[in-house]
Amino acid sequence: MTINYDQLSEINKTLASFPNAKLQIVTKNRDFKIVKELIDKGYHLFGENKVQEAQDKFKNIIDPNLELHLIGPLQTNKAKVALQLFDCIQSIDRAKLVNEIAKHRTKIAFKTKTFFIQINIGRESQKSGVLPEDLDDLYNLCVEKKLKISGLMCIPPLNKPSKEYFQEMKFLRNNLNSNLILSMGMSDDYKISLECDSNLIRIGSRIFN
């Protein structure tokens, strides 16, 4: 496994036209050496899908600038470990998880500073995320439980035009809280997401050979 620096360069050039957006490198299924090489090249914002894999990979990395996000589903029985490992959890999607996180607030030292609510923007039964019509209720619960919600995240349906889903995300964000970050856009549709005001693009496969 190697890093495709030509693709990284292309992504960075694109981002130069969108000053309010950042690149998050998705390192799921990539080994420690790849992560270390990226850090040495000045990249510090990473996304991981699984708690255990992230724990194994990042436990020996000492970097004061490292920012690690959980972008995959979080089981309630892994919440305690996740809160001690990730700077941000992007996959808040149900009341049970919110209540579990709140339960640990006074019992452990949180590393997690912020949370994103994941929206099932395509209303797909096999995907995690709160349905758009239930977003307000979940957001209000998070506020009540003192979870700092800083953004909204989505994964649009495969094999369908992403733009309409990204536009709906922007609409939902603006109606809920215009200060929230939008985490949307991946390897195949990040340029479209940037045109729809994404603040965080999550890129993995495009930059690895």
pLDDT at 151: 98
Distance (Å, rounded) from C-alpha 16 to C-alpha 87?
Answer: 25
pLDDT at 5: 96
Can you read off the two tokens belonging to residue 47? 């996304």
Distance (Å, rounded) from C-alpha 157 to C-alpha 192?
Answer: 14
Q: Is the dihedral of CA 82, 37, 40, 22 positive or negative?
A: negative
Token pair 């090489």 in the structure block, residue = 37
Q: Are 119 and 130 in contact (CB under 8 A)?
A: yes
Distance (Å, rounded) from C-alpha 169 to C-alpha 156?
Answer: 10
End-to-end CA gap in the chain: 6
Distance (Å, rounded) from C-alpha 175 to C-alpha 8?
Answer: 34
Task: Name the stretches of the chain with pLDDT < 70.
Answer: none
Token pair 């395509």 in the structure block, residue = 122
Distance (Å, rounded) from C-alpha 69 to C-alpha 87?
Answer: 6
**Per this entry, what is the length of the chain?**
209
pLDDT at 143: 96
Q: State the pTM of this model.
A: 0.95
Residue-wise pLDDT for 92-150, tens only, equals: 999 999 999 999 977 778 899 999 999 999 999 999 999 999 999 999 999 999 999 99
In three-state form (DSSP H/G/I as H, E/B as E, the rest C), the secondary structure along 129-183 is: CECHHHHHHHHHHHHHCCCCEEEEEECCCCCCCCHHHHHHHHHHHHHHCCCCEEE
Domain boundaries, the chain: 5-207
Can you state the angle between helices 95-103 and 135-144, rounded to 10 degrees?
A: 10
> CATH: 3.40.50.720, 3.40.50.12780, 3.20.20.10, 3.30.1490.20. Which one for 5-207?
3.20.20.10
| Beta carbons within 8 Å of 154's beta carbon, 6+ residues apart | 118, 119, 120, 121, 129, 165, 166, 169, 183, 184
pLDDT at 59: 84
Q: Are 34 and 208 in contact (CB under 8 A)?
A: yes
